Structures are given as structure tokens and as C-alpha cells.
Structure 1
Amino acid sequence: MAAALHVRKAARNNAWSNDRLLRACAELSDAEFKAARTSFFPSLFETLNHSLSVDLYYLDMLEEGGIGLAIFDSFVPLAAEPLRSAQLAADRRLVTFCDAQSELSLPRLVETDRGDEGKVPERVDDLLAHLFQHQIHHRGQAHAMLAGTRVPPPQLDEYFLVFDASRREAELAALGIEGPEAIR
């Protein structure tokens, strides 16, 4: 598969998975969402807000917004339902960014703000790969934490197989995101 097509599909899968997980988390009370749990970050609240803040940081770099690490200074952690809305907005930005990529633009270098280490040029495709990996990593942690609550964790290991098309169409449409069949 061509790299540009892959990042378009990965962005959609990322949005779909984030929404499934955050819909489940929205069924928890605020106390349950913020309760101490065993993981790298000690709660669903902290884990999923970390994921969103890193998404915003990477989106700023990819879109060459110039905010850099200052994004973390202004980030305000959110409860589950507003977090779901904010994550969807970030995911839609990521889908839009990925849809604009081509085989020629993916190896392009963008500056990344690495604080004391300065500005480090990174390839767009590498930043996207890291962003998707980061999301998968923390969704897995959140999924495991959710398993320790009264809310069953959602299915997250589906991708865009023909077999699963009927399972995802309504969910993607509700997110306002075209499915993989619509992209080239």
C-alpha cells in the first residue's frame, strides 16, 4: 500500500478507535474516570488527556503552527464528555492533514520544538507513525484500565477490512468522517 493511502486510513482508524474508547469512558462517573488505577499514568483521566495534549503538540508541528511545547502550558485537562469532543476535533484535523498528503509530501521535513535540545527537523511520515503509535500505546493502557470498571471496554483492534464494513459505517458517519472506501 502506498504510504499516503496508509496514513489516510490510519488517521480514520485512529479517530474511530478514540471515539469508541471515549464513548465508553463517558459512561463512567467523573469520580470513576478520575479514580486511581494501575498504569503508566494513574487514571483514565490523566492517560486520555495526555494523549490529547500530545496529539495537539504533534498537529501543531505537522501543520507548522509554531506553538511548539507551549501547547502543554495552556492545555487544560477535560472530563470524559468534553474530552471526547476535543479529541474528535483533533482527530478531524489529523484526518484533514493526512488527506492532504502525497508520496512527495510525506518525506518533507518539519521543525519540531524539543525544548532544550532545540528545533529538530523530522520527516512528516515519521511524525505521523509516531503519533499513531503513541495513540495505540495509550489507548491500550486506557482499555486495560477500563476493564477494571463497570463499563465493558469496546472492541479496538478492528481495522478497515471488508468484513467489518457494516460494523463501522454508522460510527464513522456519526463522526463526520468518510470511511476508507471513499479515499484514494
Structure 2
Amino acid sequence: MNAAYFQMLARYNQWANNHVLAACQTLDQRALDAPREAFFPSIIKTLNHVWVADTLWLARLRGDVLNRALDDVPWPLFDGYKAACQACDQDLIALVDGLDDTDVTKTIAYKTVAGVSYETPCHVILGHVFNHQTHHRGQVHSQLISAGCPSLEIDLIYFAREYGY
């Protein structure tokens, strides 16, 4: 396993999130709270789910325990969410930058929010974290379009081209 690959994905994740945040910034709070089609029924609820999941995985990767429901909305207002998202993205970059090729192959023991114990290789967890972000970022993208925002070019290839990967 190559730690550098996950370091690139952490930066891509931040880059793509910044594009989504910029699009969200063009909407008022009412539009962010409005019912929209997706697994989580509004832009702000979908964004909060991603933040909650990221903080849970960050805690697990550090060997910490964090109890939080996957549908919690700790940041109901966008400005608070934006600051929390940017801090979380920085935390994820710092964590991944601290890993080497051996670290990403290590097994991580953790419990799910339901209390079930698992052991999973770090690289699988990191792959899940970035895939989960992409999955829900796609839902937010669709929600943003339904709110009248233009489509975003946030695929990995655009990031890679911009930053010379």
C-alpha cells in the first residue's frame, strides 16, 4: 500500500469540499434546509452526515472512541458547518500525512456506532472514508443543482490536472 496515494486523496477531498462549500455559500440558510431528494433530506443534513462520519473515522484511526449518531446535525447553520468541515479536512490531511506505507497496512480495531467490534486494515478504512465523501458529495451536488446552482467539476481528474498529479 502506498501512503502517498491516500495523501493525494486527502488533498483532493479538501479541494472538492471547498468547491461544494463555495457553491453552498451562494445559498441562504432556508435553501440549505429545504427538503431535497437524497438519503439525507436536505443539503445541510447531508453535509452534517459526512462531517459526523469523518469525525467518527478520524477518532477510530487515532484509537479514540467517539459516540455520535450518523444522522446528528451538530452544525445546523452553514457558517458553523463550514468552519467545522475545513477543520476536519485539515485534521484528515494531518493524520494521513503522518502515515507511511507500513502504517496503511496495519489493522485498526474499533466499534461501530451500534457497538459492534471490527478489525479492518487502515487502507480499507481510508478508502472507505474517501469513497463515502465522494458518494455523499455527489448527492449534495445534485441537491445544489436542484437549488439552482450550476454543476460543479469536482472529479478527481480535475484536481489531478490542476495540481500536477
TM-score clears 0.5: yes
Unaligned runs of 5+ residues in structure 1 are 166-179
Identity of paired residues, percent? Answer: 26
What is the one-letter code of the residue matched to 2:160?
F
Q: For residues 66-104 of structure 1, give each alpha carbon's deviation from its aligned partner in whole angstroms, at most 9, with x where no partner exists.
A: 22xx13398613322221110111110110111111111
Task: For residue 123 of structure 1, report the CA deviation from its aligned partner.
Answer: 1.0
The residue aligned with 1:54 is: 53
CA distance in 1, matches of 2:49, 2:153: 21
Deviates more, 1:23-32 or 1:130-139: 23-32
Instruction: Please give the root-mean-square deviation of Cα atoms over the aligned residues, in Å.
Output: 2.0
TM-score, scaled to structure 2: 0.89
What is the one-letter code of the residue matched to 2:58?
L
CA distance in 1, matches of 2:120, 2:78: 32
Task: For residue 108 of structure 1, report the CA deviation from its aligned partner.
Answer: 0.8
CA distance in 2, matches of 1:43, 1:102: 38
CA distance in 1, matches of 2:92, 2:152: 22
Correspondences of 1:144-163 after superposition (within 5 Å):
144-157=142-155, 158-161=158-161
Secondary structure, counterpart of 1:110 in structure 2: strand
The residue aligned with 1:99 is: 97
Task: For residue 118 of structure 1, report the CA deviation from its aligned partner.
Answer: 2.8
The residue aligned with 2:122 is: 124
Secondary structure, counterpart of 1:72 in structure 2: coil
Unaligned runs of 5+ residues in structure 2 are none
The residue aligned with 1:87 is: 85
Correspondences of 1:63-78 after superposition (within 5 Å):
63-67=62-66, 70-72=67-69, 76-78=74-76
Deviates more, 1:112-121 or 1:99-108: 112-121
